[in-house]
Amino acid sequence: MNSNVPRREADRYLSEPNISVITRIAKVIEMLIGLRKQDFQAAGHFVQLQWGHLPWPVRWARFLGWGIYQLFINLPQRTCGLVIRGRISRTPMWLLDENRWAEHPWRDDGAARLPGEVDTVVIGAGFTGGAVAYHWARRASSDQSLVVLEMDDPASGASGRNEGLVVMGRYFKMVRDTVGHHLPRVRPDLESSARKQLASQFAMAYCRAAYRNADLIAETIEEHGFRCDYQRAGWVQARTSDEQKALRLSVKLAEQSGCDDWTMIESFEVKQRSGMRVTQPAGFSRQAASWHPAKWVWCLLDVALASDNVELYTRTRVDRVLEQQRGYLVETARGVIRARNVVYATESYTPNLETGFRDVILPMQEQAASGEGGPVSMEPHIGISGSWYFAGRYGRDVLFGSGGSRVPDHQAGRNLPSRFLTRFAAAEMRDHFGPYELELENEWSGTVGYTPDEFPVVGSIDGAGRWIIGGMCGSGSGVAFNGGRCIVNRILGLDDEPDDYPPEYFAPGRLLDPAGHCWPDVNHGR
């Protein structure tokens, strides 16, 4: 065991108080009564992740045993400190603060009307839409107009429902493996060694772009003095003994590629940085940061809307985008806008507007909960995660959550959290922090967009004026800001800044039309 925590102390720290049989039975009944459709959807996804390599009768038999253990033994015991009183709000903790751009412009001007024609329409006002608006205000001339259309209020989607981290994106090995797993289906013409090399090139392109994205965010916050609770303290990711070999390999590849934000820290440093007690080394993203994600979006809009050539219209759902002889017709319930360019900043909602992205951008539900209290040893401002949960301390509140399952396209953005998953994540967190008390106040879910190769799409959809930044696989804060910068520069025809999203890697054509896509050359021997 590689730890500075003596075994006896660790056992004492993780010991659980006894609960009565009556209390246990009551908790079991409560959980059974509370099971909903979303719990069973999440169960199917969990089974596939955990036992997908086994024959289906075996995997479901194992799940049955696991489920019985969770319901009758594990969760009643390990969530006895999770206090749930009355009706829990589904409003994310990030959206409890006043949204100064809510119901804009209708709140102040009920007679406001959409413009008839603009240069560019951006659909969505989250991380991506806010980024595009910000960079447009920074780079476009005064006669080049941009309108942001948001079906709800800014940051109300996935951008305001997450764990509150500025991630460096996925580490090199993770990207290489997910792309490498997909390449045989789309590049059967390549030898295995060539596909492996190509997957490494994809990983390098991704990491370079994500690293610049994180630095640009830090520079922008400092330049404007954004008050979005930004703290660059890193992200600790606990690994089990079975995962140590993979962790060491991933760190080695990160060092060899130069993408060395991803590293490994010993258990004593894990405790110092995060308050977690582990018996094995953990993965650590050194440059990741915590922030208030909704405030970040609102701050971007503050700058963008101070410009005369950027407008925002909230609570304006886009129904259709129709291609015209010159440009596009954007149809909404409030009217129609003609535009020369359309940028989809819609992430998991994209297939509902662009049918070509069905089964290309997949809505995956994730969820979180928050409340006052939580582990007293949990350090603030640092990202924390285990194999099946994530967490973080923000002031007096602790946020924690877990991934879920794919939902149908028409359910993108649904706010329907699973109480079972909330309890499960709370129990997993207890493994690393010991007994704690937390009064649940908020519980919510949202959907993020996954692509089949788990690699984002940033570029032109049709080779003309339809653009997209999406498929970010839960790493929107690692892609959106830099992606928005590059797309704005392409629309405006500006080439005086680095473009970190070359089409051969990031263009949606690699998924929409693999045979016709212009793939990057394989750099043999590099």
pLDDT single digits (tens) 472-491: 999 999 999 999 999 999 99
Q: Please, what's the largest Cα pairwise distance for the chain?
A: 74
pLDDT above 90: residue 503: yes
Yes or no: say if 104 and 42 are a contact pair by the CB < 8 Å rule. no
pLDDT single digits (tens) 277-310: 999 999 999 999 999 999 999 999 999 999 999 9
Where do the domains of the chain lie? Answer: 18-79+362-450, 117-164+293-359+454-512
Q: In the CATH scheme, what architecture does the domain 117-164+293-359+454-512 have?
A: 3-Layer(bba) Sandwich (3.50)
Peptide bond before 105: cis, by omega within 30 degrees of 0?
yes
Q: What is the pTM of this model?
A: 0.92
User: What sign results for the dihedral spanned by CA atoms 284, 290, 294, 300?
Assistant: negative
Distance, in Å, from the CA atom of 278 to the CA atom of 300, rounded to the nearest integer, reads 38
Yes or no: say if 353 and 151 are a contact pair by the CB < 8 Å rule. no
pLDDT single digits (tens) 54-82: 888 888 888 888 778 787 777 777 788 89
pLDDT single digits (tens) 399-447: 999 987 889 999 999 999 988 889 999 999 999 999 999 999 999 999 9
| 18-79+362-450 classified as CATH 3.40.50 | no
Among the residue ranges 14-18, 332-336, 352-356, 402-406, the one predicted with the least confidence is 14-18
Average pLDDT, the chain: 92
pLDDT above 70: residue 2: no
Yes or no: say if 263 and 286 are a contact pair by the CB < 8 Å rule. yes
For the stretch 388-426, what's the b/e string if a residue is b when 16 or more beta carbons lie within 10 angstroms of its beta carbon? bbbbbbbeebbbbbbbbbbbebebbbbbbbbbbbbbbbb
**Inter-CA distances, 195 with 122, 138, 199, 481, Å:** 36, 40, 6, 30
CA gyration radius, the chain: 23
